[in-house]
Chains A and B, each alone.
Chain A
């Protein structure tokens, strides 16, 4: 299988007055054409930074240094994103890899009409005239299920509901038929019914266009619904990767198990006042990460003489199941 996107040993370091922060370390994964890969993990585990690194939207050096390799199967053959000159990268952004964000309200420019903002993306990649681009923008709005698209194209972001705004963002992302869409928590800011509609829309678009999606989320319920494979991140590293079904059925990394336990289930509805079983403790400060296993201070399975000594590497458990845990064999049984 030749992957559409192949990330290898990605590391991101931010430099600030108070020293260097390693936001990401040794991150490797790949995305096949047409598949959906979910990335889950607690806040500040490095999900957004991974996405922004692929898009090359992180601050420039020396404030931020990105190392590793990101290969992408472009229209004109394979390209290495981190080596691409900025001018060429501009064509990749939105052209071959598109991205949508968590807050559709702030992610759209408040002073321009929706149609115009979409047409801009069309013009940037497809060329042609302004009128043609606007017409295409209306088509795209129609495609993402915005009723009365021609009139809606003349709305400003604040005149649309949250769900409509996210649809408009998706329309913008589809402007030049990208092969990969990175969606960074696209439904987190929306209420539940709208969330479901947006997920449906993404699935439909994927079926129609063969789009691959990297779907970043906190929400394991969403993962179950949309993702073929899932990547679990913790403290700047990938700690488990597996087909979604096996990950949910048989998680190996204690952190993944903790995440799954913290999901409220319908059958075990919480009594009033009962709190969600969260994972005890906090994510380590990236400046003072344990040299050994980063999850070990919070882990029920931790054995100081093993887990506190060396940092485990990613181990292959099954065909497509990888885990970063020294004790996965014991956990598996």
Chain B
């Protein structure tokens, strides 16, 4: 087990390295660098720009720039934002909790609803409810997140005026109720896709397990249907779902980016788009690394959970 973990962590570190190289290369090869931002400043001369580029190390060859960045990173120095000279880690630290709040709440919502819908569809296969769930999932998967976000803003904020259209809290009002009111719409919008995927996978996992011999044994020994569902079907059907949850993390992060933009949610997604616009390389790279680390940790956690819940792997 310890060896397995170590090898997984080693793998993850290697992946992080690859991600950082690709991210760095893509970022720097995109036309228009950070200098184009400075060039907009009135009174900036070519000589000034040249000096700034030199100070920022941007005149060095790309591999050297990368190695410098990596060297600093390994020493715990994530660099400073080009925009306000704030340390990158501090900026990300400010934005991370909002994103985590959004992701965690929408995941909880999605897992509860998705599991329930999936199990119901499986237990009542080919019923009206099952068809509705299938169609609902198709529709949910084909609706772009930003469009759905705009629609719910239009309905619930603009027309009905029930909920705020954006932001994480009303300034000067930090009550739980206020926070919750702000959370509802982005949470639901972000959860939509996850509910759809989760319920589909849950349905097939449930059907798969329900056809297993040990479920027949459970029936043959006289357990009631509810018991069979809870103790034999669900317990086993959740196993593949753990892996799925890990694999879904990047999708969720991507969705969060869009949802945050639509709902002006002060999280990492907003920060990412803003920083990208400014070509704020240190912040963008920092965000890339944090997202990659989150994803890898998520997958590692999923693997560990799987081992915990499946005695065949745990005691092999």
What residues of chain A have their CB less than 8 Å away from a CB belonging to chain B? 55, 57, 90-95, 98-99, 101, 103, 106-112, 120-121, 124-125, 156, 158-159, 169, 172-173, 175-176
Contact = CB atoms under 8 A, between A and B. Distances in A.
Contact of B222 (A92, A111, A169): A92
Contacts of B235: 109, 111-112
B232 interface: yes
B213 interface: yes
Interface in B193-217: 212-214, 216-217
Interface stretch (B98-106, B137-145, B305-313): B305-313
B236 A111 contact: yes
Interface string B288-316: 00000000000000000000011110011
A156 B221 contact: no
Given A109-B236, A169-B217, A156 B311 contact: yes
Given A120-B231, A158-B311, A107 B222 contact: no
Interface in B231-245: 231-232, 235-236, 239
B230 to A, nearest CB: 11
Given A109-B232, A110-B311, A57 B223 contact: no
Given A57-B216, A101-B216, A106-B212, A93 B221 contact: yes
A5 B121 CA distance: 38
Given A101-B213, A109-B236, A57 B220 contact: yes
A221 B131 CA distance: 51
A111 B310 CA distance: 6
A93 B213 contact: no
A189 to B, nearest CB: 11
Contact of A111 (B221, B223, B311, B316): B311
B214 A107 contact: yes
A98 B220 contact: yes
Given A93-B221, A101-B213, A175-B221, A156 B232 contact: no
Contacts of B54: none
A110 B214 CA distance: 8
Contacts of A112: 231-232, 235
21 contacts: A93-B219, A94-B221, A98-B220, A101-B213, A101-B220, A107-B213, A107-B214, A107-B216, A107-B217, A108-B214, A110-B310, A110-B312, A111-B239, A112-B235, A121-B221, A121-B222, A156-B311, A156-B315, A158-B312, A169-B217, A176-B222
B109 interface: no
A95 B222 contact: yes
Contacts, number: 84
B220 A99 contact: yes
B3 interface: no
A169 B235 CA distance: 20
Given A110-B312, A156-B311, A124 B236 contact: no
A173 B221 CA distance: 7
Contacts of A172: 217, 221
Contacts of B217: 101, 107-109, 169, 172
Given A109-B218, A109-B232, A112-B235, 5 more contacts: A107-B213, A111-B309, A120-B221, A156-B311, A169-B217
A169 B312 CA distance: 19
Contacts of A111: 235-236, 239, 309-312
Contacts of A94: 220-223
Nearest to A172: B221
Given A111-B309, A156-B315, A103 B213 contact: yes
B219 A57 contact: yes
Contacts of A125: 222
The 8 A-B residue pairs with the shortest CB-CB distance in the complex, in nearest-first order: A94-B222, A94-B221, A106-B213, A93-B222, A121-B221, A109-B214, A156-B311, A99-B220
Given A92-B222, A94-B220, A121-B221, A159 B214 contact: no
Interface in B145-179: none
A124 B221 contact: yes
Contacts of A91: 222
Contacts of B239: 111
Contacts of A93: 219-222
B135 to A, nearest CB: 22
A94 B309 CA distance: 28
A158 B316 CA distance: 9
A172 B310 CA distance: 22
A74 to B, nearest CB: 13
B132 to A, nearest CB: 22
Residue from the set B217, B218, B219, B224 with the largest chain A CB neighbour count within 10 Å: B217
Contacts of B231: 112, 120
A156 B312 contact: yes
Contacts of A156: 311-312, 315
B236 to A, nearest CB: 6
